[in-house]
Amino acid sequence: MVCGDGGRGNGTTMWRHMRRRAGSESTVYEVRLGGERAAAKKPVLSTSDDLDKFHYQLQLLCELDHPGLAKLIAAHARPPNYLMFFEYFEPPNLADKIHVEEWSPSIQQVVTIASYLAKTLQYLQILGIVHRDIKPANILLDKDLLPHLADFGLAMYQKDIKSVSAENWKSSGKPTGGFYKKNMVGTLIYMAPEILRKDLHTEKSDVYSFAISINELLTGVVPYTDLRAEAQVCISIHYTIFLQVRQLLSFLSEQFLDFSSNLDTLPARLMPLQKHL
Ligand SMILES: Nc1ncnc2c1ncn2[C@@H]1O[C@H](COP(=O)(O)OP(=O)(O)OP(=O)(O)O)[C@@H](O)[C@H]1O
Ligand SMILES: [Mg+2]
Q: What is the DSSP string of 150-192?
A: ---TT-EEHHHHHTS-HHHHHHHSS--HHHHHHHS-S-GGG--
Instruction: Indicate whether residue 40 lines ligand 1 (CB < 6 A).
Output: no
Q: Which of the four pLDDT bands, split at 50, 70 and 90, describes residue 236?
A: low
Instruction: Lowest mean pLDDT of 16-20, 201-205, 240-244, name the range.
Output: 16-20
Task: Name the DSSP letter for residue 90.
Answer: P
**Rounded distance from Cα 176 to ligand 1 centre (Å):** 30
Ligand 1 pocket test: pick from 21, 57, 187, 209 the residue with the most ligand atoms within 8 Å of its Cβ: 21
Task: Tell whether the model's pLDDT for residue 32 goes beyond 60.
Answer: yes
> Could you say which architecture CATH assigns to the domain 91-223?
Orthogonal Bundle (1.10)
Determine which residue's CA is closest to atom 1 belonging to ligand 1: 88
Domain boundaries, the chain: 1-88, 91-223, 225-276
Phi-psi region of 7 (alpha: psi -120 to 50; beta: other; left: phi over 0): left
Residue scoring higher pLDDT (175 or 139): 139
Instruction: Indicate whether residue 43 lines ligand 1 (CB < 6 A).
Output: no
Contacts 24+ apart (CB under 8 A), 139-142: 139/93, 139/94, 139/95, 139/213, 140/70, 140/89, 140/93, 140/94, 141/89, 141/90, 141/92, 141/93, 141/94, 141/97, 142/89
Angle between helical axes of 266-276 and 225-259 (0-180°, round to 10): 170
Segment 43-72 mean pLDDT: 96
Atom of ligand 1 nearest to the CA of 148: 1
Answer whether 126's CB lies under 8 Å from 119's CB.
no
Determine which residue's CA is closest to atom 27 belonging to ligand 1: 23
Instruction: Indicate whether residue 206 lines ligand 1 (CB < 6 A).
Output: no
**Rounded distance from Cα 204 to ligand 2 centre (Å):** 20
Answer whether 117's CB lies under 8 Å from 211's CB.
no
Active site residue 151: no
pLDDT for position 268: 44
Candidates 49, 52, 133, 258; catalytic one: 133
What is the tens place of the pLDDT at every residue in 131-156? 999 999 999 999 999 999 999 999 99
Instruction: Indicate whether residue 201 lines ligand 1 (CB < 6 A).
Output: no
pLDDT for position 187: 87
Determine which residue's CA is closest to atom 17 belonging to ligand 1: 151
Instruction: Indicate whether residue 41 lines ligand 1 (CB < 6 A).
Output: yes
Predicted TM-score (pTM) of this structure: 0.76
- The ligand placed nearest to the CA atom of residue 154 is 1
Instruction: Indicate whether residue 48 lines ligand 1 (CB < 6 A).
Output: no
What is the tens place of the pLDDT at every residue in 103-119? 999 999 999 999 999 99
**Rounded distance from Cα 149 to ligand 2 centre (Å):** 10
The domain 1-88 belongs to what CATH superfamily?
Phosphorylase Kinase; domain 1 (3.30.200.20)
- The ligand placed nearest to the CA atom of residue 137 is 1
